[in-house]
Copies of this chain bind each other. A is one copy, B any other.
Amino acid sequence: MARKPLVNPRKMASQERSRATVDALIEATARILVRDGFDKASTNRIAEEAGVSIGSLYQYYPSKEALVAAVIERHNQQTMRVVRGALAELATLPVEQAVRSLVAIAIEAHRIDPRLHRVIAEQIPRVGQLENVETFSRDNYALFRAYLEAHRDELRIVDAELAAFVCVTSIEALTHMAVLHRPDIASDDAVATLVDEATRLIVRYLRE
């Protein structure tokens, strides 16, 4: 009965048509997830929305979970793509600029596809073993911790682990909440203030 969760795509779609099918499926899944929520996202519905037969769906994804995982994966990758560059040059920046930059990146990341991001964060039963969303957070987190250790002399770092936790968690929470639930705070007009405030929060905390 309890067949172990198959969460990996079945075959790497090498040929062109396959590629299109796979894309259509992921696109359709994301669309339904956003439009109707996780519970309404049945495989049959996804297949239909993708204009693909249910049989073909299972040709590429062995389970509903695999499909959702693929959507998350793709979302994460899109986020990475947006964020990676900015993240890379963080190391070279002075504290205030680094933090400001990090906050800005976080907001940008949440703005990529906020509705999808929200569904992923709130509705998806944790897929497989990993806490999918957090996977991405980890990188972020490790990177920031490294930054702190590299700048130990400028800052009051007692416990870099703990400090990283405090900073990354706060930034993530503030940007997530603002973008997804507080249009007043994250609007184009207001967002600069949000960045200022978040930066102030973190920088003052980190300084001696």
Contact = CB atoms under 8 A, between A and B. Distances in A.
Given A163-B197, A166-B197, A166-B198, 10 more contacts: A37-B126, A38-B125, A123-B125, A159-B193, A162-B193, A166-B174, A169-B173, A170-B173, A170-B201, A204-B204
> Residue among A126, A134, A170 with the most chain B CB within 10 A?
A170
Nearest to A190: B162
Given A38-B125, A205-B201, A165 B177 contact: yes
A170 B165 contact: no
Nearest to A134: B181
Given A122-B122, A165-B185, A172 B173 contact: yes
How many copies are assembled? Answer: 4
Interface of A: 37-39, 122-123, 125-126, 134, 159, 162-163, 165-166, 169-170, 172-174, 177-178, 181-182, 185, 193-194, 197-198, 200-201, 204-205
Contacts of A126: 37
